Structure 1
Amino acid sequence: MSYCAIVIIGFRCSSDIAECLTALKSLEGPDHAVHICENGGDDSYDELCHALSELGGETPSARQSVSPGFLTREFRLAGKETRVFAHRAPGNLGYAGGINAVLAYLKSDPDWDAIWILNPDTAPEPDALAALKRRAVEGGYGIVGSRIVLSHNQRIQMYAGRWRRWMARGWNIGLGEPADATPDTAKIEAEMQYVSGASMYVTRQFIEVIGPMEEGYFLYAEEVDWCLRRGHFRIGYAHDSIVLHDHGATIGSNSNRKMRSSFSVFLDERSKLLLTRRFYPVIFPIVAIVTLLLTTQYAVQGAYKNFGVALAGWFSGLKGEKGFPKRFAPPSRPA
């Protein structure tokens, strides 16, 4: 019997993941299993496994390895018997790297027909997954997104996204609308270019034809990249799939420019240029100038430290640097 593999990428946020799994206990069909890839190291993995043991019991299972240092333990959600696989990454693989590691783990399993990527700080409604699969099957879509609702104000974060290529920024379709608004789904699907990475349903056929996520960004723009290189596949929007999102809780990507983490600021600016160079190389010089000017918004709002970080991220993107940024690597210990 086919099932959906729910994929969550964690980085030292076991409490967020536990809350997400608590919401998933109420999930109503189709069949599913949960795969969590912990990017935060041994201590974080131990914390995650402890949190999972509180939610259910551990199941003796073979600890498969898809790469050196990749460890897997299996749990069950109490009262639900949902399989939960906790994977320890050999290092911080980033968002796409963690997802791709789970895909590598699943490669030999013939039974899954889709993955559902969820942010750790989300709480899906009980019928969220069923609505995603229904929309994918009915519309013949390769990727389907959810109605993302901000948990703190019950307003729409986004129905879907449109990429504004000349300024290398996304536009959240539906931003600020009441959570219970009834938009024109056909209009949204005509306008959308990508779905939110906070809740992203991707069919197995899409993955096998288009390939895995691009890991070079490390964080930000991966979902846009995947959707832009979708080939003949279509992307859709499932309005009945409601996912609450505590936006920015996991990595500090707060909308307040002063409060945003340096890590998120740097990678956000870098990824915009990396994506532009890949998909819109002809206009790259113009976009580079526009995005440089837009970094001054940090200074205008008094976020002077993050203004410097944004400039560094912009310059890194200009040079085409990829992967984990060296400036955030922990200092090496003396021999």
Structure 2
Amino acid sequence: MTGVAVGIVGYRCPEAIAACLTGLDRSTHPVRTVAICENGGPEAFEALAAALGGLGFAISTDSAGGGEATDRSMRLARPARAGAIAEVVLYRAVRNLGYAGAINAILDALAPDPHWSALWILNPDTEPAPDALAALVAHAGRGGYGIVGSRLIVKGSGRVQLYGGRWRRFLGRGYNMGLGAAAEAPVDPDAIERDQHYVSGAAMYVTRDFVRQVGPMSEDYFLYAEEVDWCLRRGAFRLGYAHDAVVQHDHGATIGSNLDRRSRSAISVFLDERSRLLLTRRFYPYAFPVAAAATLLLTLQYVRAGAVRNFRVALAGWWAGLCGETGVPARLVPKGQ
């Protein structure tokens, strides 16, 4: 029997992941397995295993090795009980692989298993509604879909983060469709599905056929824009939007990418600017000169917000994108982390 696997990328946030799994465990649709790739090193891996122990999971196997991307895997299970999750598998990354690298490590680990039909990628700081997965499965079952998105709601405010995303190629920026709307505001889901360019990586339902035909995520970005890249490479596959699949998102809680420009983490600022230019150059080269100028001007928003330090970081990220730098941002992620 085939089923849905859930993939989560962790980085030293065991409490957030435990909360995400607590919400996921209320799903009305069963979860085949939850695969988590911990990017934060050995101590973070142990802390995550301990946090899952608090949810009733016990170690069933603990193995060294795993390939180039991961060097340890731990399978955790619990006695049969009411709940959607039967088992969780943790993978320890050999280093910080970035978002796409960790997702690809999960896909590599799942590849030998013939019994999963889709991977639901969730951010650690998300909490899916009980019927969210069932709505995604039903929507994807209409045929032709490669990736299906959810209605993302910001925790705390109860407002919409996005329904789907549009890429503004001459600004080198994404646009969140529905941003700030009331959670239950009336919408036309078909119009959203027709107009969106990409699905948010915070809650992204990806079919196995899509992975087979399109390939893995691009690891050039390290963080940000990977999901846009994946969606733009979709070929004949359709992008879906399941309005009834509601997912709450504590936006920016795990990487420091909140909207306050003064408190954003340096790595978030740097990669946000770099990834915009990398994606624009790859998919919209005719728009790149205009987008490069526009993104440079928009870095001044940090000055206006009094975030002078992050303005300098944004300029460095912009320059790195202009120069085509890809992969691990060595200046911000120390070797071995």
Normalising by structure 1, we get a TM-score of 0.96
- Of 124, 127, 143, 1:123 maps to 127
CA distance in 2, matches of 1:104, 1:324: 20
CA distance in 2, matches of 1:278, 1:159: 25
Q: Does 1:259 align with 2:258?
A: no
Q: Does 1:134 align with 2:138?
A: yes
Q: Does 1:291 align with 2:329?
A: no
Pairing of 1:239-318 with structure 2 (within 5 A) = 239-318=243-322
User: How far 1:329 sits from its partner (Å)?
Assistant: 3.2
Q: Name the aligned partner's letter for residue 177 of structure 1.
A: A
Aligned length: 332
Q: Show the counterpart of 1:40.
A: 40
Alpha-carbon contact 2:60-2:77 (below 8 Å) kept:
no
Alpha-carbon contact 2:160-2:181 (below 8 Å) kept:
yes
Runs of 4+ with >6 A deviation: none
Q: Show the counterpart of 1:76.
A: 77
Q: Show the counterpart of 2:208.
A: 204
Per-residue displacement from partner, 1:5-46 (whole Å, max 9, x unpaired)? 100000000110011011111011144210010000000001
Pairing of 1:97-176 with structure 2 (within 5 A) = 97-176=101-180
Pairing of 1:161-240 with structure 2 (within 5 A) = 161-240=165-244
Alpha-carbon contact 1:56-1:75 (below 8 Å) kept:
no
Per-residue displacement from partner, 1:166-208 (whole Å, max 9, x unpaired)? 0011110011111111200111111100011110000000000
Q: Show the counterpart of 1:25.
A: 25
Q: Show the counterpart of 1:15.
A: 15
Q: Over aligned residue pairs, what C-alpha RMSD do you find? A: 1.5
Gaps of 5+ in 1: none
CA distance in 2, matches of 1:99, 1:173: 25
What SS does the corresponding residue of 2:223 show, helix, strand or coil?
coil
User: How far 1:327 sits from its partner (Å)?
Assistant: 0.9
Gaps of 5+ in 2: none
Alpha-carbon contact 2:155-2:249 (below 8 Å) kept:
yes
CA distance in 2, matches of 1:30, 1:232: 29
CA distance in 1, matches of 2:64, 2:27: 27
CA distance in 2, matches of 1:240, 1:38: 30
Identity of aligned residues (%): 55
Alpha-carbon contact 1:37-1:89 (below 8 Å) kept:
yes
What SS does the corresponding residue of 1:207 show, helix, strand or coil?
helix
CA distance in 2, matches of 1:207, 1:250: 26
Pairing of 1:314-325 with structure 2 (within 5 A) = 314-325=318-329
CA distance in 2, matches of 1:328, 1:16: 23
Judging changes above 3 Å, is the alpha-carbon distance between structure 1 residues 65 and 109 closer, same or farther for their aligned structure 2 residues? farther
User: How far 1:65 sits from its partner (Å)?
Assistant: 4.1
Per-residue displacement from partner, 1:249-270 (whole Å, max 9, x unpaired)? 0000010111111110000000
Judging changes above 3 Å, is the alpha-carbon distance between structure 1 residues 185 and 165 closer, same or farther for their aligned structure 2 residues? same
CA distance in 2, matches of 1:256, 1:62: 41
Q: Name the aligned partner's letter for residue 165 of structure 1.
A: R
What SS does the corresponding residue of 2:117 show, helix, strand or coil?
strand
CA distance in 1, matches of 2:49, 2:191: 43
